[in-house]
């Protein structure tokens, strides 16, 4: 009996091997011998797109690559049959391989400018001052004014020289206090305008939300004639009078103002150098909104010269970076002809994936919870909620009506998401657009750390196929917001597990270029409270398994940028983008996940990073 069973098993193995051997020569005949074969690894294809926990798809030991694409996957023996005399072999020494990481929301150009801009001569030419806020807006304004007066006198700062003031939070203030003062107009340029008539000044709260003085506003109006209107549309009525120019002001100050006459190759090289750093982290595809047209030009220059260090899906946001008024915003999207595309039909390394107006509600204290979570009047007054006539609302609606794909709106809070859905439905009515059409655009909402699970909001998100792109690091802001709103806010704290179980597509934004800390946060639901060394646990029952978290950064992340047919999983025919990990992500203790290291990165079949020499020469 045993002998019969053994013979039967050998026959099955022989027939399987014979079938495999017969099929493989046909593959070689069609494509030629493999250029590269990775062997003896734990290769997780991540090709299971389901929402079931712990389903990574196939795990194989070898992968064959032909040109830029994956040729086949299987056992060592199966892949060796695809090799020819010039095939290169890399022994992975049992290391774990995953698809190249996909960054869904990464403002990489700002990081590039800070890290590599000075080496290219791209510098911030302003005089830099630092002020720590007081405990009241009035005292803080007086301190800023006195610091500016003293610096101009003592440093003998010449007329016309820009001054930037970094306004730091007082340790006795609640996190986000200065943002609230700026948003509500308690801090404004009139408090120091008459002391700085000859110098443009930008007072930066947190580095990204500046107040311009009158001289700075005047300098911008010379280049951006709709500047005052744009600021009011962006941040609310009278924002220009207050000097609150917001995020686009700082981006434009560098790329479209200070560096407007710098050669494009300097900007391109800055972006390229930063991209090579991303290769070392296993990041092969990035999605970003781009405020400044000069950045678009710089990336396209890299692409024309075949120097792109990673794939890039970008979203046009020119109405903010060039400070368009309402009329020109509408005309821009109408005249541009909606040239966005998916990856299959776009460029291999660079493709225009849609448009955005990133600010919808806010990631700071100006969340938008509306009637979903009641709070005292002084708390509700700082909520930032868009409405018809504002730049976020009108930008998105104008773009949708002109055929654009909308993406990357801040859907931080429940009512903010509800308003986004209302904007979509308004555009649908005006443009006679169907639900199927909107679903096909695959719009996204970002951050979502207080989105909750409000029935009407989640029904709208499902109906229109909106991708929820969470930012786990923003959970650090929640304890401070909880202090303002109370325990009734707790159910709103990023219930990722519930969303996934209910059939929503959820992805995540890395912390800059760090993917592993967010994965840990999504699993453990532990976060370090912002500004402290205190760790807190937030809705631990919403923790997810590590495979699902990795899908959010690979398998599902590719769907975010309409690239699921080309990247995000390791499957034959897809681009050979992969990351080799120092440790086995699937088995290490959860506490070790934040310290995961990538030791090798493949991009389009080329090994672009190899820290251990596994690939040899």
Specify whether the CB–CB gap between 508 and 470 falls below 8 A. yes
Query: What is the layout of strands, in order, in the sheet containing 606-610?
Result: 59-60, 42-44, 96-99, 578-581, 598-603, 606-610
Q: What are phi and psi of 144, to 5 degrees?
A: -60, -45
pLDDT at site 179: 87
pLDDT at site 24: 56
DSSP 511: B
CATH number of 104-113+265-567: 3.20.20.140
d(CA 352, CA 130): 38
d(CA 71, CA 48): 19
pLDDT at site 19: 53
Considering the entire predicted model, what is its pTM? 0.93
Start-to-end CA span in the chain (Å)? 53
pLDDT at site 362: 81
Specify whether the CB–CB gap between 38 and 78 falls below 8 A. no
Residue closest to 33 by CA, chosen among 92, 90, 86: 86
Q: Cα–chain-centroid distance for residue 272?
A: 18
The enclosing H or E element of 526 equals strand 526-528
pLDDT at site 370: 95
pLDDT at site 363: 74
Q: Beta partners for 59?
A: 44
Q: Which two tokens stand for residue 439?
A: 């679903």
Q: Which two tokens stand for residue 186?
A: 């308690």
d(CA 182, CA 198): 23
Alpha helices in 42-197 (DSSP H): 76-80, 108-116, 137-154, 177-184
DSSP 20: H
d(CA 518, CA 509): 8
Convert 54-89 into a string of H (helix), E (strand) and C (coil). CCCCCEECEEEEECCEEEEEECHHHHHCCEEEEEEE
Which regions of the chain are under pLDDT 50?
1-18, 20
Question: HSE on the CB side for 207, CA within 13 Å?
Answer: 3
- Report the phi/psi class of residue 324: left, alpha or beta, with left for phi > 0 and alpha for psi in -120 to 50: beta
What residues does each domain of the chain span? 13-100+569-587+598-617, 104-113+265-567, 123-258
d(CA 84, CA 405): 45
pLDDT at site 300: 98
Question: HSE on the CB side for 552, CA within 13 Å?
Answer: 34
| Fold type of domain 13-100+569-587+598-617 | Urease, subunit C; domain 1 (2.30.40)
| pLDDT tens, residue by residue, 363-406 | 766 799 999 999 999 889 889 899 999 999 999 999 999 999 99
Helix (H, G, I), strand (E, B) or coil at 185: coil
Residue closest to 560 by CA, chosen among 361, 415, 343: 343
DSSP codes joined into one string, 226-256: THHHHHHHHH-TTHHHHTB-HHHHHHHIIII
The enclosing H or E element of 232 equals helix 227-235
Residue closest to 606 by CA, chosen among 594, 595, 615, 593: 615
pLDDT at site 366: 76
CA dihedral (300, 357, 274, 88) in degrees, to 10, reads: -70
DSSP codes joined into one string, 274-292: HHHHHHTTTEEEEEEEE--
d(CA 277, CA 112): 10
């Amino acid at each position: 009996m045993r002998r019969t069973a053994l013979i039967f098993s050998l026959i099955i193995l022989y027939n399987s091997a014979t079938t495999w051997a017969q099929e493989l020569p046909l593959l070689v005949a069609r494509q030629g011998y493999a250029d590269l074969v990775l062997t003896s690894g734990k290769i997780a294809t991540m090709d299971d797109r389901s929402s079931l926990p712990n389903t990574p798809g196939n795990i194989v030991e070898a992968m064959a690559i032909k040109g830029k694409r994956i040729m086949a996957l299987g056992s060592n023996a199966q892949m060796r049959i695809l090799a020819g005399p010039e095939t290169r072999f890399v022994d992975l020494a049992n290391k774990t391989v995953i698809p190249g990481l996909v960054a869904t929301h990464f403002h990489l150009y700002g990081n590039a400018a800070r890290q590599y801009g000075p080496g290219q001569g791209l510098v911030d030419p302003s005089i830099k001052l630092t002020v720590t806020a007081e405990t009241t807006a009035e005292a803080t304004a007086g301190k800023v004014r006195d610091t500016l007066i003293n610096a101009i006198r003592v440093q003998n700062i010449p007329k016309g020289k820009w001054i930037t003031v970094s306004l730091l939070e007082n340790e006795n203030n609640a996190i986000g206090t200065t943002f609230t003062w700026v948003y509500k107009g308690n801090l404004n340029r009139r408090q120091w305008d008459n002391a700085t008539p000859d110098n443009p000044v930008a007072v930066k709260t947190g580095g990204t939300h500046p107040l311009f003085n009158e001289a700075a506003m005047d300098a911008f109006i010379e280049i951006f004639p709709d500047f005052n209107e744009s600021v009011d549309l962006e941040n609310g009525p009278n924002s220009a009078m207050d000097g609150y120019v917001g995020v686009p002001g700082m981006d434009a100050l560098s790329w479209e103002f200070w560096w407007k006459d710098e050669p494009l190759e300097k900007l391109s090289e800055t972006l390229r150098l930063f991209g090579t750093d991303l290769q070392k982290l296993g990041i092969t595809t990035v999605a970003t909104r781009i405020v400044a047209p000069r950045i678009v030009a710089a990336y396209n220059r890299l692409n024309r010269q075949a120097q792109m260090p990673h794939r890039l899906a970008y979203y046009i946001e020119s109405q903010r970076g060039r400070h368009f008024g309402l009329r020109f915003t509408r005309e821009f999207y109408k005249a541009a002809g909606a040239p966005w595309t998916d990856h299959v039909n776009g460029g291999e390394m660079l493709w225009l994936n849609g448009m955005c107006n990133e600010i919808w509600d806010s990631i700071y204290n100006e969340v938008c919870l509306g009637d979903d979570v009641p709070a005292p009047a002084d708390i509700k007054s700082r909520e930032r909620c868009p409405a018809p006539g504002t730049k976020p609302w009108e930008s998105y609606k104008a773009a949708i009506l002109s055929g654009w794909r909308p993406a990357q709106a801040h859907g931080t809070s429940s009512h903010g998401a509800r308003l986004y859905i209302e904007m979509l439905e308004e555009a649908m009515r005006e443009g006679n657009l169907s639900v199927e059409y909107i679903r096909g655009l695959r719009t996204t909402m970002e951050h979502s750390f207080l989105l909750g699970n409000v029935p009407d909001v989640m029904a709208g998100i499902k109906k229109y196929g909106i991708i929820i792109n969470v930012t786990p690091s923003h959970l650090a802001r929640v304890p401070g917001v909880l202090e303002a709103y109370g325990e009734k806010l707790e159910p709103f704290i990023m219930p990722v597990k519930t969303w996934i179980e209910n059939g929503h597509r959820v992805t995540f934004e890395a912390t800059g270029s760090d993917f592993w800390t967010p994965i840990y946060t999504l699993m453990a639901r532990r976060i370090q409270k912002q500004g402290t060394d205190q760790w807190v646990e937030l809705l631990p029952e919403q923790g997810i398994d590590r495979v699902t978290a990795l899908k959010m950064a690979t398998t599902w992340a590719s769907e975010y940028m309409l690239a699921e047919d080309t990247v995000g999983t390791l499957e034959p025919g897809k681009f050979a983008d992969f990351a080799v990990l120092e440790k086995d992500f699937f088995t290490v203790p959860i506490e070790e996940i934040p310290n995961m290291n990538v030791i090798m990165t493949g991009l389009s079949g080329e090994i672009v990073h190899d820290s251990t020499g596994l690939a040899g020469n």
